[in-house]
Chains A and B, each alone.
Chain A
């Protein structure tokens, strides 16, 4: 018996209504990535995570549990689960992720923040008010839950006086840039992906990337938001040899993520098909690198660059033994531009202290975004 749509969608939309997210995370968990970075609260320009990276370990755990329920007798009692979830957050128990996995996704957000700083972009962060945007509920058509939630998100942005949002994943970018303006009258906050901003400002690599990089485009970035060229230009700028898989750019192939919550087995099949295509490109890149006489394991093996956390978790789940070759694009860029993160932060802190007081004030103002997007 397949998963009960009414129960699954009911739990997710009840959570959004009652707890502010489809899989609620505590403030401590969803803001932990920013610890020690000294990002100011609020400002006219803020980095907006929409909690997507932070949610992935929980989503992944939940999907594994759902997959084990699919076709079992337990699907018959899922309706009761929804009733209980209204009082007691059972989704928290079902989606409790390992600390180590959470730390990996947190580190991607830290990399994105450091890359923005390295490019001279000053920004704030809303901490507890950086809310999930409701992408999953929107996709599943539970609009009654979405409208009220979107109003809460926008009210928080307005309360902080936000004028520009720097988004970090395709789903949050799409919701805020294309869906919210249709839902909320007068929503005029400028929304740009960090990839577009980094591309506009340019990166200065400390160490050039060694080896081929196969690009996996997110459907939402490529076909909804036209973010196709920026990631390629950024990868090229750090020295990566960009390799296009059989289906890329606006013709990219889905990772299966959008149906993970209702049809986990089919989602895994779709991801496995995409992994096959990417593996073929990696294999071709490997042969070409060897043919050019390039030395070293990394230069020959190649990497897959992924720019969506949902794609990343689905593809790595299907890639099994080769999962280690899939990297969030932020990791590749930060390895080249930032290098040792702790040292980079320490150097920057020393540099800030050495600045004359007036200049330091300007740099600390999160509202100042040179060449505002």
Chain B
């Protein structure tokens, strides 16, 4: 069963901004890491509040090169790398226990 955490987006440390994403897939197609869920699917999980899915994708989130190749091509100008950093901050604090 998929559990939706309605508070998830609000609990993130920073302005997670993927609302403009229209799921065109250019980011995923160009990503040098070639991980299918990076970054589009990952952001969809965050927007939907699927906190558990985000936690399960720890490796994917930390695999991002932050190279901005996706961002340079995004037609919706989504701040992709900043969003990834925000998800990392969430995992660092709540999953890895390195927040303090």
B62 contact from A256, A259, A270, A273, Cβ within 8 A: A259
Q: Nearest CB to that of A6 among chain B residues?
A: B96
With an 8 A cutoff between CB atoms, is B68 at the interface? yes
- Which residues 42-100 in B have Cβ within 8 Å of A in the complex? 58-59, 62-69, 71-72, 85-92, 96-100
Contacts of A139 in B (CB 8 A): 66, 85
Give which listed residue, A6, A251, A259, contacts B72 with CB less than 8 A: A251
| Contact indicator B98/A142 (Cβ below 8 Å) | yes
- Whether A5 pairs with B65 at a CB distance below 8 angstroms is no
A223 at the interface (CB under 8 A from B): yes
Which of B68, B92, B98, B99 touches A223 (beta carbons < 8 Å)?
Answer: B68
Alpha-carbon gap, A144 to B94, bound state (A) = 13
Give the size range of A's interface with the partner.
Answer: 20 to 34
Chain B residues with CB under 8 A of A256: 65
Residues from chain B with a CB closer than 8 A to the CB of A254 are 32, 65, 67, 69
Does B13 sit at the interface, judged by CB under 8 A? yes
Closest to B100 in A: A144
Out of B32, B59, B90, B98, which one reaches A273, CB within 8 Å? B32
Looking at the assembled complex, report how far the CB atom of A64 sits from the nearest CB atom of chain B, in whole angstroms: 20
CB distance from B64 to the nearest CB of A (A): 8
Q: Are the C-beta atoms of B65 and A258 separated by less than 8 Å?
A: yes
**Please, which residues of chain B bring their CB within 8 A of the CB of A259?**
62-65
Measured in the bound complex, the distance between the Cα atoms of B13 and A253 in whole Å is 29
Query: Could you mark each residue 89-114 of chain A with 1 if its beta carbon is under 8 Å from any beta carbon of chain B, else 0?
Result: 00000000000000000000000000
Contact with A219, one of B63, B69, B87 (Cβ below 8 angstroms): B69
Closest to A263 in B: B63
Q: Are B65 and A141 in contact (CB under 8 A)?
A: no
What range describes how many residues of B lie at the interface? 20 to 34
Task: State whether A223 touches B71 (Cβ < 8 A).
Answer: yes
Measured CA separation A138–B14 after assembly (Å): 14
Contact check, B72 vs A250: say whether CB atoms are below 8 A apart: yes
Number of A-B contacts (CB under 8 A): 74
Contact among A9, A13, A141, A253 with B69 in the assembled complex (CB-CB below 8 Å): A253
Report the separation of the CA atoms of residues A10 and B92 in the bound assembly, to the nearest whole angstrom. 10
B63, B91, B92 — most chain A CB neighbours (10 Å): B92
> Could you tell me the distance between the alpha carbons of A59 and B64 in the complex, rounded to whole angstroms?
19
Q: Are A10 and B98 in touch, CB under 8 angstroms?
A: yes
A270 neighbours in B (Cβ, 8 Å): 32-33, 65
Q: In the bound complex, do residue B96 and residue A5 qualify as a contact, i.e. CB atoms below 8 Å apart?
A: yes
Question: Measured between alpha carbons, how far is A263 from B86 in the docked complex, in Å?
Answer: 20
What's the minimum C-beta distance from A301 to chain B, rounded to whole angstroms? Answer: 27
Contact B68 A224 (CB under 8 A): yes
Contact: A142 with B92, CB < 8 Å?
yes
A258 touching B66, Cβ below 8 Å: yes
Find out whether the CB atom of B62 lies under 8 angstroms from the CB atom of A143: no
- Which residue of chain A has the shortest Cβ distance to B91 in the bound complex? A141
A140 at the interface (CB under 8 A from B): yes
Whether B33 contacts A143 by the Cβ 8 Å rule is no
> Quick check: is A262 within 8 A (CB to CB) of the other chain?
yes
A181: chain B residues at CB < 8 Å are none
Closest to A13 in B: B98
Sampled A-B contacts (6; CB under 8 Å)? A139-B85, A142-B92, A144-B100, A223-B69, A258-B67, A263-B63
- A interface, CB within 8 angstroms of B: 2, 5-6, 9-10, 13, 138-144, 219, 223-224, 250-251, 253-254, 256, 258-259, 262-263, 266, 270, 273
